[in-house]
A and B are shown apart, each in its own frame.
Chain A
Amino acid sequence: MIEVRSLAKSFAVPARSSGSAGLRSLWSRAGASAAASKAPRRIHAVVDVNFDAPDGCITGLLGPNGAGKTTTLRMLAALIAPDAGTMRVDGIDVVARPGDVLARMGVLSDARGLYPRLTARENIVYYGALHGMARDAAEARAEELARMFEMMPLLDRRAAGFSQGERMKTALCRALVHDPANIVLDEPTNGLDVLATRALRESLRWLRTPAGGSKCIVFSTHIMQEVERLCDGVVVVAHGRTVATGTVDELLAKTDERDFEEAFVKLAFAADRAGAEAAA
């Protein structure tokens, strides 16, 4: 169970003066004061994100590029501290007890680099060991996951020559090695072919069933099809805010659309359109 409330995060971007002004500021006091007057710009990556992801459900975090999905997931993984808001995983506060949260969560982040000189098995078992698993248990789990994602032949090959899809599968196994109750996936189908995407979808569907452990799965994407086919609940994020939540059918009804893509465009870009109309 993952709960996110009023999450906000902004980053300072150092102000860049033009080349000549920069040179001038090196030499003159006037230049220096001019540079000082330019306050660093702040980018508000996440302004107000709210969602609940219950156990046994796949929750889709849907939003255009730059909507703040990756920043939200990074905050959830305790990689960056939020400016405001709360995040709880199985009732545990992420900021207060990040270690306990990470132990209950498997995260496939935007960056999914492997160690090229280690085999797929070694890559997976390494993370298992860091989660405190015994070596035998981690090995057994690596094989179980490899069977699930149909990557048994890859297991003892070094990661150096892997294709993008093979790298993704290994990274996914690595994130799930400790059998976490909560799974957070940032655009997991990037680089996967149709068959691999289908296999991943099937695996995620199984993981949310009681037999698969009734996992709480949060899935960020910008691909409508995936959301339609997979997600039990959808959270639409745009400009760092949650703009709509509900099932696919609820969102279609809300926007009075039959095509989910149209519904998404209406929801995600409504503020932009209103602004443009007001300006006109």
Chain B
Amino acid sequence: MRRSLVAAGIVLGKELRDALRDRRTLLTVLVSAVLMGPLVLFAISGLIGSLESRAEQREVYLSGLMRAPTLRNYLERQTYVAREAPSDFEAQLRRSTFHDPVVVIPEDFEAALVRGDVPVVEIVSDSANQRSEASTARIERLLGGFSRERALLSLALRGVSAQILEPMQVEDRDLASTQTRATRITGMLPYFVMMAVLYGALNAALDTTAGERERGSLEPLLMNPTERWALVAGKWGAVACVSVLIAVLSCFSFLPGQWVLRSDTLQAMFQYGPREAALFILLLLPLAAALAAVLMAVAIRSRTFKEAQASSTLVVLAISLLPLVNVFDLGGEAPWHLWAPALAQNMLMTRVLKGEALELSQVLIPLGVCAVLTAFGVWYVARQLHQAAVK
């Protein structure tokens, strides 16, 4: 037993050295998996930053500004600047070269107001132009305020109390903490970390199994007096280590990633420190172990690296798509999510980001699932090893 453990350690050392010398592959994984997250974070912060600065500018664009002096007066009293929209605003909105919704004032706006008719005012935006869409609600609120003011004035002139119009008062109370709100934006962070784990494991897993078959080095390896399970355990350990290494780099890459956040609000909301990074890594360890074993089990049946890449597509696809259930919030959180690898880790990491406490059962279920997957994968590879070597 002790000899087998030593042998597993020797295989682990060799496989790690082999994997770390594959610089080109490592570099590709690092660039795609580790840099991608902070880059996306940077892009999101840029978008939010521009939305914030647009809100701070307090500008409203109207088509036919001269036709609505009363509305302009109201807007200016709300400390907004009313501007005339460009004549081709519709085309510009469609092309996304203009980023504000436009209020279209009809010809006889003022006259209709005086007569007590109800003039129709259009707010023109393009739902494909996300920035213009984001400001629409603000403009609607402003115009609503104008309508209410007009109504109140009319009622006051007739000696009617303004409260008749508002028999009840509605107030918002948001239960979400600052962190919870932030996860609406930073919710994709766990997804990127998980992709780092997946792609970290992928190449190493394929290389130690199908790659070894393709090179013709599996047969001589099995002619050593080492137990099969020791060989497989060493290989699996190395793949899991590489995967965890990439995961660690990815998790910590978000720490300096925060410094580049352009939006102050996002920076204030984004609570991701060394504690969160460490929790992420702890949650990802079982996933890395399970992915290493499952990918090896899939790849051992393939004669070549290329064939193994094709067969592992299903695993890659499942791990890539499952967390999207969380990201897109399809049907909210369900108990079965904890039983699905990748989805469970995504859910738990999101909780960490929200600043919520993790319950023991929530951690134990995914841990158990990953342990079963790991054991099955390692057992299957050990079983297939001899057959794979001679076929």
Contact = CB atoms under 8 A, between A and B. Distances in A.
Contacts of B7: 130
B219 A111 contact: yes
Interface string B224-245: 1111000000000000000000
Interface string A55-95: 00000000000000000001001111000000000000000
A175 B216 CA distance: 14
Contact of A79 (B22, B216, B223): B223
Interface residues of A, number: 33
Interface stretch (B13-21, B72-80, B348-356): B13-21
Interface residues of B, number: 27
B224 A113 contact: no
Contacts, number: 80
Contacts of B221: 130
A100 to B, nearest CB: 7
B223 A107 contact: yes
Interface in B150-204: none
A231 interface: no
A130 B222 contact: no
A102 B223 contact: yes
Nearest to B217: A113
Contacts of A130: 7, 10-11, 221, 224-226
A42 interface: no
A248 interface: no
Nearest to A98: B225
A159 to B, nearest CB: 10
B317 to A, nearest CB: 26
A109 B220 contact: yes
A131 B224 contact: yes
B94 interface: no
Given A102-B224, A103-B225, A130-B226, A79 B18 contact: no
A99 interface: yes
Nearest to A71: B390
Given A117-B22, A126-B14, A112 B216 contact: yes
A4 interface: no
A115 B219 contact: no
A110 B219 contact: yes
Interface in A94-134: 98-100, 102-103, 105, 107-118, 122, 126-127, 129-132
B52 to A, nearest CB: 50
A1 interface: no
A141 interface: no
Contacts of A117: 18, 21-22
Contact of B220 (A98, A107, A129, A131): A107
Contacts of B10: 126, 129-130
Nearest to A135: B10
B18 to A, nearest CB: 5
A118 B11 CA distance: 13
B215 A175 contact: no
Interface string A161-176: 0000000000100110
B203 to A, nearest CB: 13
B115 interface: no
A114 B18 contact: no
B212, B220, B223, B224, most chain A CB atoms within 10 A: B223
B17 A118 contact: yes
A115 B18 CA distance: 8
Contacts of A111: 216-220, 389
A107 B389 CA distance: 15
A131 to B, nearest CB: 6
Nearest to B20: A117
Interface in B1-59: 3, 6-7, 10-11, 14, 17-18, 21-22
Contacts of B389: 79, 111
**Considering residues A98, A111, A118, A126, which has the most beta carbons from chain B within 10 angstroms of its beta carbon?**
A111
Nearest to A97: B225
A116 B215 contact: yes
B390 A80 contact: yes
Given A100-B225, A130-B10, A132-B3, A113 B220 contact: yes
Contact of A80 (B11, B225, B227, B386): B386
Query: Which of A99, A116, A129, A175 has most chain B Cβ within 10 Å?
Result: A129
Given A79-B390, A99-B225, A100-B225, A174 B18 contact: no
Interface of B: 3, 6-7, 10-11, 14, 17-18, 21-22, 212, 215-227, 386, 389-390
11 contacts: A74-B219, A79-B222, A103-B225, A105-B223, A109-B219, A109-B220, A113-B218, A115-B18, A117-B21, A175-B220, A175-B223
Q: Nearest 10 pairs between A and B by C-beta?
A: A113-B216, A113-B217, A111-B216, A113-B215, A111-B219, A102-B225, A130-B224, A117-B21, A99-B225, A103-B225
Given A115-B18, A115-B217, 18 more contacts: A79-B386, A79-B390, A98-B225, A99-B225, A107-B223, A108-B220, A110-B219, A112-B220, A113-B212, A113-B217, A113-B220, A115-B14, A115-B215, A118-B17, A118-B18, A127-B224, A130-B10, A130-B226
